[in-house]
């Protein structure tokens, strides 16, 4: 059986069990709304465009934040890989900061950038940057010494060696870094939106929760999960697989 078919059957079964549970009142509608009410609130949200605006607003922040994270992450990662001093000092700071969930920066961010876009994007950037830095750094440091030796015997050195050999050789790590940066940034975005003002998926989720609209809460959670899975599967895993294959790293 194809994985897609298996997946479809699995999710259908899950929804059926959920619906049956609601029908037989194993739990109350206010605690866990039925798939039908979730579907209806999603339908309402999409037909009056509120959810569409939310998606657009969320994606806008994500794209700005992720682009900045990848840009900063790549530059700092290269710096750490090239300079021992930077690695010993800044590298340790990066390692420490990486273990701080980016959402805890929000109070500070609100002081610096106010309640709006600025602080959310700041949190998104922080969410993606550190993992990108660490992957780029590892990638450049782990370039097969044989590539470097071979390139040197072919007259390449210095900047030429770095740009033509070391950077391309570490592309697989860049891709993995970008994929993880996206995952972290997406989580940071949702957390940030929950705690600030709208529009945005996170904001709508909190808004629905404040009004006791549990079916919309679940609806938004489903959107968050689906978007996350689609972007990961359709974009990042696909690129990663191609790159690993081309670079001969696929086992």
What's the rounded Cα separation, in Å, for the pair 92 and 98? 10
CB closer to other proteins, 48 vs 160:
160
Assess whether the previous peptide bond of 15 is cis (omega < 30° from 0): no
189, 58 contact by CB (below 8 A): yes
In angstroms, rounded to a whole number, what is the distance separating the alpha carbons of residues 14 and 35? Answer: 10
Question: Binders of other proteins: how many residues, by CB under 8 A?
Answer: 20
* SS3 readout for 203-249: HHHHHHHHCCCHHHHHHHHHHHHHHHHHHHHHHHHHHHHHHHHHCCC
Among 76-84, 113-121, 186-194, 240-248, the segment contacting other proteins (CB under 8 A): 240-248
Q: Which is nearer to other proteins, 138 or 156 (CB)?
A: 156
Contacts with other proteins, 140-169, as mask; x by CB under 8 A: ------xx-xxxxxxxxx------xx--xx
Cβ closest to other proteins, residue 93 vs residue 154: 154
Tell the smallest beta-carbon distance from residue 170 to other proteins (Å). 11
User: How long a stretch of residues is the chain?
Assistant: 251
Q: Map residues 49-88 to x or -, x wherever contact with other proteins holds by CB under 8 A.
A: ----------------------------------------
Applying CB under 8 A, the residues found at the interface with other proteins are 146-147, 149-157, 164-165, 168-169, 171, 245-248
């Amino acid at each position: 059986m194809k994985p897609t078919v298996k997946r479809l059957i699995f999710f259908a079964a899950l929804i059926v069990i959920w619906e049956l549970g609601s029908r037989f009142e194993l739990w109350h509608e206010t605690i866990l709304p039925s798939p039908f009410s979730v579907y209806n609130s999603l339908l309402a949200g999409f037909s009056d465009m509120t959810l569409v605006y939310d998606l657009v607003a969320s994606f806008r922040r994500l794209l700005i934040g992720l682009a900045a994270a990848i840009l900063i992450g790549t530059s700092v990662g290269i710096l750490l890989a090239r300079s021992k001093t930077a690695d010993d000092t800044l590298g340790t700071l990066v390692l420490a900061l990486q273990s701080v969930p980016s959402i805890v920066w929000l109070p500070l961010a609100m002081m610096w950038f106010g309640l709006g876009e600025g602080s959310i994007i700041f949190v998104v950037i922080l969410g993606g940057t550190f993992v990108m830095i660490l992957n780029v750094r590892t990638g450049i440091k782990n370039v097969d010494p044989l590539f470097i030796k071979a390139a040197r015997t072919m007259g390449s050195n210095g900047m030429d060696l770095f740009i033509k050999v070391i950077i391309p050789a570490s592309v697989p790590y860049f891709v993995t870094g970008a994929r993880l940066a996206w995952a972290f940034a997406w989580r940071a975005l949702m957390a940030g939106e929950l705690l600030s003002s709208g529009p945005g998926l996170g904001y709508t989720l909190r808004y629905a929760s404040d009004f006791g609209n549990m079916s919309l809460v679940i609806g938004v959670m489903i959107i968050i999960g689906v978007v996350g899975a689609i972007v990961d599967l359709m974009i990042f895993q696909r690129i990663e697989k191609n790159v690993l294959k081309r670079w001969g790293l696929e086992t």
